[in-house]
Structure 1
Amino acid sequence: MKSLAFILLVQIAICLFSFAFAGRDFYKILNVRKTATTNEIKKAYRKLAKELHPDKNKDPSTSEKFQELGAAYEALSDPEKRKTYDRCGEECLKKDGMMDGADPFASFFGDFGFHFGNSDQNEQQTARGANIVMKLYVTLEELYSGNFVELVRNKPVLKPASGKRKCNCRQEMVTRNLGPGRFQMIQQTVCDECPNVKLVNEERTLEVEVEAGMVDGQETKFVAEGELHMDGEPGDLIIKIVQAPHPHFHRKGDDLYTNVTISLQDALIGVNMNIKHLDGHLVGVSREKITWPGARIRKKGEGMPNYENNNLYGNLFITFDVEFPKKDLTDAEKEAIKKILDQTSINRTYNGL
């Protein structure tokens, strides 16, 4: 009995030891399930990174949490690293040299991350390179469900070079003595002398999150990813969302509009059909009464997600077109239709505009 108890104690000790050195729970840090997709991990990281970034959150503990968040994202966003982590934890990643400490935040928001608050006057006067505005064409499906788009950018970067160069050139007033009691003030260019630099192209991969509910023309900014300035700060790269035309749906705000063509038979006796939505789910459309050309029905909550609150959805409006038969009817068929419809002839003139 004593030996059995000793074995159990050893096993418990081994389990506790393994647990203590297993490393951090990256899924818990990102607040995602272990079955989360890569896109879900990216969305969770982006949301938490905004909240925990030291430029925005001045809590002393934020910096450590932000570093943990970066480590969690680095491990779980890479399929190979994630497999290793799932198998034996953070210690295995470190042992295999798979945690390089790269800043994943830069791939979302550029070199300098967020800039919260107001800049001081000196910063506002700093020379800046031009902003670059780039259109990103996205589908209505991406605006409905959300997506991450990778952009490969060849960015010119300043690197040290041999020699010196003139920099910070400016216009200054200089006084010259032309003789006794004679002076002349002229404006001339004055420059400092700085270490020389050269431009080198570097390839960078940026990730643009197309968030669910984004609208046409909405912009995402990558700080310091724009044009360089030799003696100042680089401009920004601005990604402008452009919604591509869709073959089946038209968007107005958070509402969607579509047209459905049905046969004259279905228009008279009723229609029961499904419409495939942007994410693949089916929207049932059932109508027992007569449907006239131009009739419209509304499906509540089947529109686009609201950008501010993805739990709210607009409406889907369905307009019916009726396709009439093209064959000629016999006299007997015409008489049968007259009896069924039991309508009198209507000849009414009006301004349809």
Structure 2
Amino acid sequence: MGQDYYAALHITRNAEDAQIKKAYRKLALKHHPLKSVEPASVEIFKQIAEAYEVLSDPVKRSIYDKFGEEGLKGGIPQEFGSETPWATGYVFHGNAEKVFHEFFGGNNPFSEFFDAEGKEVDLNFGGLRGRGVKKQDLPIQRDLYLSLEDLFFGCTKKIKISRRVLNEDGYSSTIKDKILTIDVKPGWRQGTRITFEKEGDQGPNIIPADIIFIVKEKLHPRFRRENDNLIFVNSIPLGKVKTLDDRLLNIPINDIIHPKYCKKVPGEGMPLPEDPTKKGDLFIFFEIQFPTRLTPQKKQMLRQALLT
């Protein structure tokens, strides 16, 4: 089940723009890492930032309402027959403080936490994070939606992230963009994790968080993957099967086809991650289409066939 952005902001699905902004403002100030010492607040701060970024954008919100998180992040299907059957999915940049900065405005959205000389102010919210003690932020996990073709052939994905980078003074910071490159290997499975160490926000007494991308498979219009095998469902009569690498396979069937019949084609599945030169198998299931009505003549022919 995907994330519930409305629940994250404590609002209903028919909330108006003003209510979304009011909810984010209240929760962002409550759970900001400089104001809360609760360990869970760091993750909550990121969740509400992502929720606000989606729900405050009419296009993203419309896609999310209709297709859910999977459609929003994995891309939504376009018209049948298009050369690019899936629209580009949404990827949250992972920088909750960027959302905070853009919402509250100003060159330094954290100015309220410091005095005129730039020294930390001891707030009545449990104080600031331990001074002089470096602590690594929790990992930032993001889904990476890939098509079966991406996972079959392998590919290169470039993802732009925005993060806070310390300035030369070692105290103030600036938001900068960075491109992360992911070399997808043939045969990667759903759940594969790609870790970029310490690519999160920088700051005083902070060890930047690791950014982890987790592979998710997009739905495919023809194939379903099970481990390293591919499942193909074909309606009788059988013609040719077009593989992921655009080859046409002629599948000879010499057996009697029944509702549970399955044809195994060795070596036509997904590449094995351990050795991409080897592949899993292709399993073809058949949809037998039974007629809803029979003429008296066809009924008689069927009786004769069953009695012989």
Q: TM-score range by the shorter chain?
A: 0.5 to 0.7
**Alpha-carbon distance, 1:201 to partner:** 1.0
Match for 2:214 among 223, 230, 240?
240
Q: Residue type of the partner of 1:226?
A: G
Question: What residue in structure 2 maps to residue 174 of structure 1?
Answer: none
Is residue 299 of structure 2 the alignment partner of residue 334 of structure 1? yes
Whether the 8 Å contact between 2:159 and 2:179 is mirrored in structure 1 is yes
Separation (CA, whole Å) in 2 of partners of 1:241 and 1:342: 51
Inter-partner Cα distance in structure 2 for 1:237 and 1:342: 64
What's the secondary structure of 1:323's corresponding residue?
A: coil
Counterpart residue number, 1:57: none
Using the TM superposition, give the Cα deviation of residue 231 of structure 1 relative to its aligned residue in structure 2, in angstroms. 2.1
Task: Give the Å deviation of 1:334.
Answer: 3.1
| 1:229 CA displacement | 4.2
State the 1:325 CA deviation: 3.0
Change (3 A) 1:126 1:291: same
2:204 equivalent among 225, 230, 237: 230
- Is 2:307 the partner of 1:343? yes
Structure 2 residue 118 is the aligned partner of structure 1 residue 154? no
Q: Choose from 267, 273, 289 the match for 1:307.
A: 273
Report which of the two structures shows the higher radius of gyration computed on alpha carbons: 1
Partner of 1:78: none
Equivalent of residue 261 in structure 2, options 276, 295, 310: 295
Q: CA deviation at 1:327?
A: 4.4
Match of 1:139 among 127, 143, 147: 147
Within-5 A mapping of 1:1-353: 127-161=135-169, 197-262=171-236, 266=237, 271=238, 273-331=239-297, 333-339=298-304, 341-343=305-307
- Kept in 2, the 8 Å contact 1:130–1:227? The answer is no
Are 2:187 and 2:271, in contact at CA under 8 Å, matched by a contact in 1?
yes
Between the aligned partners of 1:197 and 1:153, the Cα distance in structure 2 is 21
Structure 1 segments (4+ residues) deviating >4 Å: none
Distance 1:130 1:334 in 2: 69
Measured in 1, the distance between the counterparts of 2:255 and 2:295 equals: 24
More strand by share: 1
Residue 49 of structure 1 is matched in structure 2 by: none
State whether residues 130 and 226 of structure 1, in contact with CA within 8 Å, keep that contact through their aligned partners in structure 2: no
Equivalent pair of 1:212/1:310 in contact (CA under 8 Å): yes
3-state DSSP of counterpart to 1:202: strand
* CA–CA separation in structure 1 for the residues paired with 2:255 and 2:228: 29
Q: Which amino acid aligns with 1:152?
A: K
1:138-158 residue CA offsets vs partner (Å, 9 max, x unmatched): 111111111111101112100
> Do the aligned residues in 2 keep the contact of 1:255 with 1:314 (CA within 8 Å)?
yes
Instruction: Give the length in aligned residue pairs.
Output: 176
Contact 2:165 2:201 (C-alpha < 8 Å) held by counterparts: no
Match in the other structure for 1:175: none
SS at structure 2 position matched to 1:320: strand
* Whole-Å separation in 1 of the counterparts to 2:193 and 2:215: 6
Structure-2 separation of matches of 1:311 and 1:160: 49
| TM-score normalised to structure 1 length | 0.46
Gap regions ≥5 residues in structure 2: 1-132
What is the distance in 1 between the residues matched to 2:138 and 2:295?
70
Q: Given residue 285 of structure 2, which amino acid in structure 1 is its aligned partner? A: T
User: Structure 2 CA distance, aligned partners of 1:126 and 1:309?
Assistant: 41
Q: Is the 8 A contact 1:130 1:228 kept in 2?
A: no
What are the Cα deviations for residues 258-280 of structure 1, in whole angstroms up to 9, with x where unaligned? 21111xxx4xxxx4x21112222
| Alpha-carbon distance in structure 2 between the residues aligned to 1:281 and 1:305 | 15
Segment of structure 1 superposing worse, 283-292 or 142-151: 283-292
| Unpaired stretches in structure 1, ≥5 consecutive residues | 1-124, 162-195, 345-353
The DSSP-based 3-state class of the residue aligned with 1:290 is: coil
TM-score (norm 2): 0.53
Amino acid corresponding to residue 184 of structure 2 in structure 1: V
2:178 and 2:268 map into 1 onto residues whose CA distance is 39
Please report how far the alpha carbon of residue 131 of structure 1 lies from its aligned counterpart in structure 2 after TM superposition.
Answer: 1.9
CA contact (8 A) 1:305 1:314 kept: yes
Q: In structure 2, how many angstroms separate the alpha carbons of the residues matched to 1:287 and 1:222?
A: 49
